[in-house]
Chain A
């Protein structure tokens, strides 16, 4: 399968040469980009490709357990890139996923890149659909496309993009294939040139729909700028400890307990 070529392959701005890997230098960044996804899908590999750092990678779920940050510059914008531990879900309140969940929910990244394993798409879509509910600046990075190809799995990424309403970029991060394309879309989504129209699942249960509506109106009264009040309402109805906590302490919608960042020294010298 051919990787999708950016529609403007030869334009000077859309060139990998415009990427400056800034390593641990994250001063004066313009945008924050979060890398999330199921465990072992290649988030740290993408992170390394973009920042030039050597965040540890390994072929088992759970290699990364602490948030790591790095920087890169593309098209004269400076980005701070955040590599998160893998998560299966945002709904499960399990402690091992706390760091990633908190950053996605409360870290307010400008762009959220969801790294997806192309050979296990269905399972990975679970997280994608959940993230689509809470933010609308999303890029799906369809990674491990080489492995999918080797195993005779082909994915119609245009159709997928249409289904989800967000850009879908096939990559093979280890071979650095598709990274230029990914950069280009990060830039477009961050600057607002590309507008995502994320798919949201409709609740079928009328009682639930009503409850969500009433509750999210109440939530919006207190936090008028919340982008995802419906989702917060739903989580309250489900009894999500973190969200209850956030409402109780008034920290909802603020940066909060994001956990310590792995010091740069640790990234280099682990």
Chain B
């Protein structure tokens, strides 16, 4: 074969393989997506939706199910009938409610969902914004036994990474705490205890603002148009509806409020500081490893040198030189 011909054939092969196997947009990925919506998935999603409405003390109707699951009302009617037949829900005057059996089923699904989110956050590098979608898949796949094993393998966590409590295996779940961020008054100081991950667009916005569980909030200005507040020392602005997706808990004592902190990444080579806290953006092993090095509140830390490209940076901590990346030092708060 002539070399030019063979090169052309080669590029054709590469192109067609790309079309098939491309993640997300490839033919294979699309095909996988379509075979996903089975009956089990629909039933479980409907139960979850009902549970969610109940938990937030809102009513649930056929329309809200259809809307939430993105199916047409015929399908929704069929689904509701099926759920009733299975003894999972009751319907009275168009108002739907869970039976005890339905509730415990819903909690099982929610348990897996939240456990999986916790798993992703602690043990993998999956980005925050993708946790929810992946958990939506996984929640329909695990048996209760597998869920228990999963829970044990991540240390029987109490909360998911958004701050939602994880139901226990026998279906108990604690009551809701805290108030929405949008309800804080000027000068109020509080800590974030929950960040809602749906809808995704809103969640992305909250992530972009670098808000995390445990972040310290001080309200600066709360008007109908905008909410301006300080989060871990940085000024942030949000629209009130967005702010409603963040739940906070007011500080009990004045002394809990920390003032004047900067992040470690702001220090220049040769400067020193004292560690105030590690943001909850650093989770799991990564967080624990930093603490193993002695980065705990009160520790002195000095910037030793930067690598040729400026990241990572090496720090002097308890006489040892430890290097880590900017995405870590961005989340360590210090006082100069």
Contacts and interface: CB of A to CB of B under 8 A. Distances in A.
Interface string B146-165: 00000011111100000000
Interface in B270-299: 285, 288-289, 291-294
A245 B151 CA distance: 11
Given A119-B319, A120-B320, A122-B318, A248 B152 contact: yes
Q: How large is the interface on A (under 10, 10 to 19, 20 to 34, 35 or more residues)?
A: 20 to 34
B155 A123 contact: no
Nearest to B286: A94
Contact of B292 (A89, A122, A240): A89
Given A88-B289, A94-B285, A238-B155, 9 more contacts: A89-B292, A91-B292, A92-B291, A93-B288, A122-B318, A123-B294, A123-B317, A123-B319, A240-B155
Contacts of B319: 119-123
A245 B289 CA distance: 22
Interface in A104-141: 119-123, 126
Interface residue tally on B, bucketed by range:
10 to 19
Nearest to A89: B292
A39 to B, nearest CB: 11
Nearest to B157: A239
A244 B293 contact: no
A92 B155 contact: no
Contacts of B289: 88, 92, 94
Contacts of B318: 120, 122-123
A76 interface: no
A241 interface: yes
Interface in A64-94: 88-89, 91-94
Contacts of A239: 154-157
Contacts of B285: 92-95
Interface in A191-237: none
Question: Which of A238, A239, A248 has the most C-beta atoms of chain B within 10 angstroms of its own C-beta?
Answer: A239
A94 B152 contact: no
Nearest to A247: B152
Indicate the member of B154, B155, B288, B294 with the most A CB atoms within 10 Å.
B155
Contacts of B153: 241, 245
18 contacts: A88-B289, A88-B292, A88-B293, A89-B292, A93-B285, A93-B288, A94-B288, A95-B285, A119-B319, A122-B294, A122-B318, A123-B320, A239-B155, A239-B156, A241-B153, A241-B155, A245-B152, A245-B153
